[in-house]
Amino acid sequence: MFGFIGVLVILGLMLLLSSIKVLPEYQRGVMLTLGRYTGTKGPGLVIMIPVVQRMVRVDLRISVMDVPPQDVISRDNVSVRVNAVVYFRVLEPEKSVLQVADYYQATSQLAQTRLRSVLGQHELDEILSQRESINRTLQGILDEATDPWGIKIANVEIKDVDLNDTMVRAIARQAEAERERRAKVIHAEGEMQAAEKLRDAAAMLSQQPQALQLRYLQTLADMSSNGKSSTIVFPLPLDLITPLMDMLPRKPG
């Protein structure tokens, strides 16, 4: 008799303990009474009716999901492998339990398919140089798709873009050609600016004969101070020779 009562007491204690749950601040409990949703509990102490009620715990903290590398063909037909990371959290626990069987797995699969779809609409140069814009696009698409599940996509980041060796060499050649093009453009612009300065200087000297004579004398001084040359040729401007020739007596014709 006492053994039977002891068993009943132990069963009663077990049922009592199983009916008492404590939820931390970052968790909520989705209550199902006889299979029907009857509310969301927590945080703190939650008392359940054994056998009749069941509680599903849902974590509200931000979760980090690593999207496996995906083979993507860009719009310009370049094959790349891209992986990403997704930050998300549960905003509505009841939807994450009632609307989808496994919200984590569903979000992971959705992120993989959307990653391939979005990157396939961009060229390789855009994938490499416009990551921030692509990240925002992916975040908006995933956030809209997971909203019925009570999921909020906080951020999406593309981590690595892997190219094959052939494409890496092609990009290196393209970068080298671009550097050479820029160098030639800069050289041509320098030549053009120098020509413009020489033209302006010639126009200024042509308007001031005295300045032209001073420049001529300065050139002679520079040539005479150069010790490397043993022979110096002195050019005489025509405007200096012409007055002297006019002063010479002319022979009668």
Class of domain 63-168: alpha beta
Please give the Cα distance from 116 to 138 (Å, whole number).
10
pLDDT at 66: 93
pLDDT exceeds 90 at position 185: no
- pLDDT tens column, 57-102: 999 999 999 999 998 888 888 888 899 999 999 999 999 999 999 9
What is the residue extent of each domain of the chain?
17-59, 63-168
* Helix or strand run (H / E) with residue 216: helix 209-225
Q: Is 69 helix (H, G, I), strand (E, B) or coil?
A: strand
Q: Give the residue among 161, 74, 56, 148 at the shortest CA–CA distance from 110.
A: 148
pLDDT at 205: 63
